[in-house]
Amino acid sequence: QLQFVESGGGLVQPGGSLKLSCTTSELGFDTYNIGWFRQAPGKEHEGVSCFNPTNGRTYYADSVKGRFTISRDRAKNTVFLEMNNLKPEDTANYYCAARAARFTTLEAMCRAGIMDYWGKGTLVTVSS
């Protein structure tokens, strides 16, 4: 199975920016749908952003649309989440994930969070 190494989490002030990365050495990573998810204590799991490499489509939760950008460096087997104009409500543990099989739609996959492989997560804290 895929194993991820996540980094980039930390403390940032509201309005600031942060870039998360998730890297794997597993060959064939470019064949997986990828996504970033988050969960804060007492809050439900949320699909933040997902990417379908087959058709190049992306999905962003309404809460982050226009502020976050998902991308992937195929050569380095790394997925990124660029976060801008961060808000206190963005505080959460962020997880990268991958899914091998196709889902009904990218949005449905991301909202359901039914992924095959998960990273251990990295904490993002947005506070003044």
Looking at residue 91, what DSSP letter applies? -
Quick check: helix, strand or coil at residue 88?
A: helix
Sequence letter at residue 123 = L
SS3 letters across 33-77: EEEEEEECCCCCCEEEEEEECCCCEEEECCCCCCCEEEEEECCCC
Q: What spatial distance separates the first Cα and last Cα of the chain, rounded to whole Å?
A: 39
In the prediction, which pLDDT does 27 show? 63
What tens-digit pLDDT sequence spans the chain (128 residues)?
778 889 999 999 999 999 999 998 776 667 889 999 999 989 999 999 999 988 889 999 999 999 999 998 888 889 999 999 999 999 999 999 999 888 889 999 999 999 999 999 999 999 99
In the prediction, which pLDDT does 31 show? 81
